[in-house]
Amino acid sequence: MRPRRKARLERRDPCGVSGARGRMGRAVGQVLDAREDLVVAARFDRGETPDLSLCDVVIDFSTPDASVELARHVAARGGPALVIGSTGLSDDQEAEITKAADKVAIVRSGNFSLGVNILVGLVERAAARLDAADWDIEVLESHHRKKVDAPSGTALMLGEAAAMGRHADLAELRIAAREGITGERPVGGIGFAALRAGGIVGDHTVLFASEDEVLTLSHSAIDRSLFARGAVAAAVWVKARSPGLYDMQDVLGFRQA
């Protein structure tokens, strides 16, 4: 029985975890450890030099500087593929990631929730099919009391998806939180509202409203580990892809729809 167990483990696809001691890195490691088709071949943090020849793909939740350094390194050696979840990259750092994607396959996303990214695709399609002259769009989000920014990055993703569906720029359509006498709602605008309370992990709703009916698309996060599971799903998808820069819309097949 022991040799058979060893043979099964050897067929597991090897993954690396960058930023392995961070909160998200630990969560990704736990998800990988629970899988029977994947195995963690390397765990490392900023300043450490792993043997990337052991990996088919690396999942990176580190820092912008470390992500760029890792992308340069894998591009220079022609692999492995990357999944990058680090946030707060500058325009120059984003350009470095894009350049590296000429040599290796990279999935880059600010939110790896499978549900949120399906919601993004649905919002874009709904906005494309519902006339802006008749249908108003509002993005509503709720988070825990310690969140310091509003609207959330995910709310902005949803707003951008709605604007894209209407072939417009969100900056031109965005309506900030309202207070006082604001006048009539501008036609075609995309409104935002945010709540902060208790320990809410994250709730997002996009509301489409006409004079006659209301369509609501929403997502609720229950456990933060969902982001790690989404990143692992992206790793499974990207490890056999051709060089290029992808996002979760590609992983979920919305780009092909």
Which one of 143, 204, 219, 239 is the catalytic residue? 143
- The question of whether 144 is a catalytic residue gets the answer no
- What string of H, E and C letters represents the secondary structure of the chain? CHHHHHHHHHCCEEEEEECCCCHHHHHHHHHHHCCCCEEEEEEECCCCCCCHHHCCEEEECCCHHHHHHHHHHHHHHCCCEEEECCCCCCHHHHHHHHHHCCCCEEEECCCCCHHHHHHHHHHHHHHHHCCCCCCEEEEEEEECCCCCCCCCHHHHHHHHHHHHHCCCCHHHHEECCCCCCCCCCCCCCEEEEEEECCCCCEEEEEEEECCCCEEEEEEEECCCHHHHHHHHHHHHHHCCCCCEEECHHHHCCHHHC
Q: Are strands 174-175 and 136-143 parallel, antiparallel or unpaired?
A: unpaired
Which one of 73, 99, 103, 147 is the catalytic residue? 147
Residue 16 near residue 50 (C-beta atoms within 8 A): yes
What residues have CB less than 8 Å from 190, skipping those under 6 apart? 137, 138, 139, 159, 162, 163, 170, 173, 174, 175
Catalogue the active-site residues. Answer: 143, 147
